[in-house]
Structure formats: C-alpha cells, structure tokens
Structure 1
Amino acid sequence: MAAGGSAELCEAALNTAPHLIQFLDSQNVALVDQSAWALGNIAAEGPKFRDRLKDNGVIPPLIKLLESKEPAVISEAAWVVVYLTSGPDNVSTQLLEHRLIPLLVGPLKDFLELKALAIPLIRALGNIASGPDNNTSELINEPGFLPSMLQLIQSDCRPVKKESLWLMSNIAAEHTGADLQKVIDAGFVPVLSQIATHQNFDIRKEAAYSLINLAAHGPEYVKVLPHHELLPGFLDFLRTKDHELISLGLRYVQLLLNSGIPDAPALLSEMNGVDALEAVILSDDRDQHRLASLLMDTFFGENNHGSRVPTPIPGTPDPNLFNSSADDGSSSLPPQYLKRASFSAAV
C-alpha cells in the first residue's frame, strides 16, 4: 500500500484518507485493521499529514475503535493515536476532549500479559505525558494508571519495560507536588531504584531518568531516594564511555551533593566516587569535564570546609540560576526536568 512507502506516495495516499477513515466503521475486522495501519503510516509522515487526517475527521472513528473489546483492534487504533500525538504540541485539545486518556488507560490492566499489543497504548500515553503539565497531571490522577504502570515497568517483555520507563520519566517531570507525592506513595521509588541498579545499562538508563526527574524538584525529593543503594549504580555510569550515561551520573551526583544531606560528600568518598569524578575530569567532553571539576573543587577541594556552593549544570552559563537556601548553606537546584518528547528514546 502507498501509505507504507515514500513521502511522495503518502502524499498521494492522502487522497484516499476519507475512504480509509470511512472503512474504520466497517464490520470487517481485516478491513479495519488494514485501514488503521495505512492511516498510521500516513500520520507518521509529519505534522502536515497528521493535520490533514484530523481535518478529515479521523478522530471520532478512532475513539470508537478504542472502545472496542478486541485487543488487536484497540492496539491498531492506538498506533494511529501514537502518530497523531507524536512530536511537540501535537496532542490536540480535540483528542483529549474525546476522553482519550481514560480510553488509553482503561485497557492497560487487561494488556499486562499481551506484551507487544500494549506498546502503542504506552507510547501514546508517553506522548501525552511529554506535553503540558496539565496532561501529565490528568494521567497521574486517572484511576488505574499508576497501578498499571507500576506493573508494566516490571514487565519481563523488554520493549514494554523500556516504553513504560520512558513514560514514567515524563510523569516524574510533573511540576505539581501533590501529583509527585502520588507517584511516590504508589511505590515507584523502590521499584525504579531496583531497576536502575540491577538491569542492563539501557534499561537502567530509562529508570535513571525517572529518578533524576523526581529528584530535580528539590532537596526534599532527593532525600526520598535510597542513596546507599543508588549511588554505586550512578557511579558505574560515570565509569562508562557512554556520553548519556555519564551525563546522568553527573546529574545524580550533583543533585545529591547539593541536597543538603550532611553525609553526602562522605558517602561519595566512601563509595570511590571521587575516583569516578576524577575519571570524568579527563574526559574530552568540555561540559562534563567542567561539571566534574566544579563538583570536585566545591566538595572535595583542598580548601573546602564543607560549604555548599551551587554548581551549574553544563550548558547553563548563569550560576545565579542556583539560589542558596537561608540557613544551612545548601543550594536549591533550578528546574532541570528531562522530558523527552520523542518515543524513539525508548526504543
């Protein structure tokens, strides 16, 4: 079918979109499946194609398919939703007004054992969570969402686990304290901590994003994390040659040292963290070298007397972004939440 080919063919296939959308109402399951597949491929070509599909009225029949009792039909419809919601600012008010979030969340509990069929549901929800905070808040407060996600991040299906962890990393970037507390109360911190320290690096990285996003909201959230368990794993990140892992490791160490936890520098020293930071100082990456050097000079320099000096994040030229707290000299970090709009991060 043209919709599975080049952009030029997809452009031509747009002329068939009204018919494909009409076929979504068919009683022929195979026809519905193929039509949804074609529409998904068209939507994947970019914003212009997505907008044309929306203008042609694709949303109402998609919503109807998401209300189906057939897992395969729901999954195929969800793939179209994935592409309609991909990229920044593509979750239209129109989609959300059609109760998209409850329709995507509702089947999750039934898809826990269906593995691959759950992926488009998770990815569509991840796209929504990568948008404005009110979308993320709506997800957190949707009945059944957090319990289902707690199970999905522990799935033995690797793609499901990675997609779910990516989604939770965007959830952890939510700015509302009450919503973040619901994530904590639901039991995510110990599970994410276990994943961040006991899986392969690619899986650990996804869990690390969630924990760092949570901690970036302030010292009170840093103190929620089990640092004796987590620190060795994040120091492992510093010892790799992977740029992204090193950046995550530095970010965690920075959050920990700036949190005001009294024994944080001693804990880092005890776990050979100074050696790990010194290894990063030798890095060819200027930003990583600069931050590792600053952390060393601030907390482990010869003239250091235990003061808490704010340490800027690489790429943040203005150190005044960090405001010192009043009494204990510890610094509060600026918001540096790492929302990732592209679902490719989870693949």
Structure 2
Amino acid sequence: IVTNMAAGGSSELCEAALNTAPHLIQFLESQNLALVDQSAWALGNIAADGPKFRDRLKDNGVLPPLIKLLDSKDLNLVQTACFALSNLARGEGAQQEALVKAGLVKPLLHHLRVDTVTVISEAAWVVVYLTSGPENVSTQLLEHRLIPLLVAPLKDFLDQKALAIPLVRALGNIASGPDNNTSALINEPGFLPAMLQFIQSDCRPVKKESLWLMSNITADHTGKDLIKVIDAGFIPVLSQIASHQNFDIRKEAAYSLINLASHGPDYAKALPHRELLPGFLDFMRTKDHELISLGLRYVQLLLNSGIQDAPALLSEMNGVDALEEVILSDDRDQHRLASLLMDTYFGENNHGSRVPTPIPGTPDPSGHSTNGGSNLNPSSLGSSVDPSNLPPQYLKRASMSAI
C-alpha cells in the first residue's frame, strides 16, 4: 500500500508515505527478502517525489542499509536497491556526495562487472545521477576505473534497446567533463566501435543519446585524438544521419560534424560538403533558434575552410538566399553573423572568389597554427570585422540526468 501511495502523485499521499519511512528503513534489515524488496521499492518511490523527501530519508538514515543491500546475492533485490539509490541520487550535489561518503562506490561498481543486463542497466542509472553531479564525485568514480566498467558491457547491449540508455548517458556525462575524460574514452578499447553501432541504433532514444555522447567526444578542445574518431568511420555515418533523419536526430549529428570541422581546415575538408550543405541550409530556413545557429556555424566553417569553391557551392545550393533570410531575423547575433558572411564572401568586390584566412587557433591549409585566444563573439562585432577572425567554438554540452 505504501509503495502505491508514494507513487500516487498527490502531495497528501506522498506526505503520508513519508511518515512511514522510519519503519521502511528498519524493514531493510529484515530476514524476509520479500519485505526488504517491497520496503526498498517504497523508499525509492518516496525519494522520487522531490528534494524534501530525499532529505528526510537521508536524515532518517536510509543510506547505509540501502547500500548494504548491494551485497545481496538476490539480483532482484539488488535491482530494487539500485532503483531506490538512483532516485536518492537525483538533484543537487549534496545528495550525490552523501552517497559517495556512505560507501556506495565499490559495491555499486561491482554490479557493472558481473550481473545480468537488467541489473547492469539499473546500476548504470545510479551512475548517471552521480556523474551529473559535482566534478569531485565523478573524479572518485573515474579513479575506480569507471570508464572500462561502462565500456566493457556495451557490446552486450547493442540489441537491448532502452536498457542501453543509462550506460550511454553515463558515458556522455563523463565526456561532458574535462578533455582528459574525452581522451580516456576515445582510447578505451571497444568504445569507438560500439558507439559507431549505437548511433545507428533503430531504438530512437538510444540513437539520440549516443549522438549526444559523440557530440561531446568531438568537442575535445585539444583535438589530439580526434583522428581516431575519423579513422573509425564516423564521418560517413554522421553525415548520413545529419542529412536524412528527423530534425531532432539530425541536430545531434550536426553538433559532432561542426565540432570536427572546428578543429581546422584539414578536419573541415574531410566532410562531404556537397552532401551536407543542403541539410544545414534547411536548418537556417527553420524558425528554430538552435538549428539556425548550427546552420550558420556550418556555413561559416565551410567558407573559412580554404576550400576554393566553397562560396560557389553555397551559391549553387541557394545558400545566399538562406543567409538573406537569416539577415531578416530578429535575433541580433544571428543577424550580425549572417550579415558578416554575406558582406565578406558575397559582397560586390568579392564575387564569391575570396579565400579566407583560417580561424585563430586552428591550423591553416598549410598546417601552421594561427594566432588564437580571442574572446570575440558575433554580438560584439562591427560590420567591418572579418568573420574568419571568430575563435573556434567546440560545442560541448552539459551533463544530463535522467528524465
């Protein structure tokens, strides 16, 4: 009854269920496994009702006995305990740090090694919430070899559809952190081959999560390992997705392609622009601010790539019309950047023939590095500024917790 009350949704029922918490916590140490399982389930439902409920449960001492359940030989009980712990790990960093201090890390990560796909998936949800919290929590997990533990079972999840989501999301959270995390992932055996398959999954949520993960991988500011992403065969697959899927899926692939191109002309030239450009121009013709920004960024990178026929290719595919549409936009930043691109590359004195200078901080076509470090952004520019002087932008996106 309490389990159903906690899941019922109304504040009165949730408050009533919370009043039973001391008894439920006591039941976690019962010898009756069915009672223990039901109590852990009820506590998980209570924890899902909000920060106030999680704080009360923590104050009532729920963490030690719940974490102890991870030592059980009963995998159903372990799965229920992981469900409750994942709900307790939601929210602000204090919850996540409290779980780590209570001794969660070692018993939790043990279940990424040896269990069934359902238990691994449930344990990975706990990792999702922990890695979306303070960086020091993620650091402690990484010190316990979290990356190999998450990557090793990926091959077993290729046909598991939604069960794979927490593994992919946890890896994406790690990739959204410092660049050394990105490098560790790229160099972990089995990671890139698995992700190449996951971004082609026929399970839409898995595909979308995997593309988000790769957008953070390609946003590595150093770029030192990105050639391995290219060599693994991601560009043709990402290009196909960015050109032929629904907008929300195309957008995720677009981030990765733009991030790759942002690392300099050599990377930009590796993209199949004749295939990609129509899709990015479609972005610019929408009313969606994010899509328009992605389209503009791609056009800027294409024109600045050192590809001689880039302006002509844009003209051939009605890109000038797309730029003119954005110039009419109410968005100040988009209006200015579109105007700069138009004036610089398609003004009366250019005739679409100008070969621009490289973006600062990236290699020019000869392989030499240009002067970087500028903090300019489009909204601060005057009409006389060359858009090729904009700094590189690697579009790394923040970590995610479960919806």
TM-score (norm 1): 0.92
Consecutive unaligned residues in structure 2, runs of 5 or more: 1-42, 360-374
**1-side partners of 2:400 and 2:294: how far apart?**
19
- Which residue number in structure 2 is paired with residue 327 of structure 1? none
- Does 1:11 find its partner at 2:68? no
Q: Quick one: structure 1 residues 221 and 298, their matched pair in 2 at CA, closer, same or farther if it must change by over 3 Å?
A: same
- 2:238 is the alignment partner of 1:170: no
- C-alpha change, 1:181 and 1:316, in structure 2 (3 Å) is farther
Q: CA deviation at 1:228?
A: 0.4
The percent identity for this pair of structures is 72
Give the 3 Å change call, closer, same or farther, for CA 287–310 of structure 1 in structure 2. Answer: farther
Higher mean alpha-carbon deviation, 120-129 vs 166-175, is at: 166-175
Q: How much has 1:259 moved relative to structure 2?
A: 1.2
User: Which of residues 314, 319, 336 is equivalent to 2:393?
Assistant: 336
CA contact (8 A) 2:196 2:234 kept: yes
Q: Give runs of aligned pairs for residues 59-74 of structure 1, distance below 5 A.
A: 59-74=105-120
Maintained 8 Å contact 2:314/2:320 = yes
1:310 Cα offset (Å): 7.5
TM-score by length of 2: 0.80
**Equivalent position SS for 2:118:** helix
Deviation of 1:92 after TM superposition, in Å, equals 2.8
Offset at 1:174? 1.6
* Structure 1 segment 116-131 matched on structure 2, within 5 A: 116-131=162-177
Q: CA deviation at 1:318?
A: 6.4
1:286 pairs with 2:349:
no
Aligned partner of 2:30 in structure 1 is none
Between the aligned partners of 1:250 and 1:62, the Cα distance in structure 2 is 44
For residue 399 of structure 2, what is the amino acid of its counterpart? S
1:135 partnered with 2:215: no
Offset of residue 89 of structure 1 = 2.6
Q: Which has the higher contact order (CA 8 A, sep 6+)?
A: 1
Asked if the contact 1:71–1:117 (Cα under 8 Å) also holds between the matched residues in 2, the reply is: yes
Count how many residue pairs are aligned between Structure 1 and Structure 2. 338
State the partner residue of 2:123: 77
- Equivalent residue for 1:150? 196
> What are the residue-to-residue correspondences of 1:176-215 with 2, within 5 Å?
176-215=222-261
* Separation of aligned partners in 1, 2:344 and 2:220: 30
Secondary structure (helix, strand or coil) at the match of 2:62 reads helix
AA of the residue aligned to 1:116: A
Conservation of the 8 A alpha-carbon contact between 1:152 and 1:160 = yes
Equivalences for residues 255-270 of structure 1 within 5 A: 255-270=301-316
Q: In terms of Rg, which structure is larger? A: 2
- Cα deviation for residue 88 of structure 1 reads 6.2
Alpha-carbon shift at residue 177 of structure 1 (Å): 3.9
> Which secondary structure state, in structure 2, belongs to the residue aligned with residue 334 of structure 1?
coil
Give 1:34-113 correspondences, 5 Å limit: 34-87=80-133, 89=135, 91-113=137-159
Amino acid across the alignment from 1:101: I
**Residues in 2 aligned to 1:197 and 1:88: alpha-carbon distance in whole angstroms:** 36
Q: Aligned partners of 1:87 and 1:315: how far apart in 2?
A: 32
Question: C-alpha separation between the residues in 2 aligned to 1:247 and 1:291?
Answer: 10
Q: 1:69: how far off?
A: 3.1
AA partner of residue 288 (structure 2): D
For residues 186 and 99 of structure 1, do their structure 2 counterparts lie closer, same or farther at Cα, with a shift above 3 Å needed?
same
User: Match for 1:317: what amino acid?
Assistant: S
CA-to-aligned-CA distance 1:130-153 (integer Å, 9 cap, x gap): 001111100000000000000000
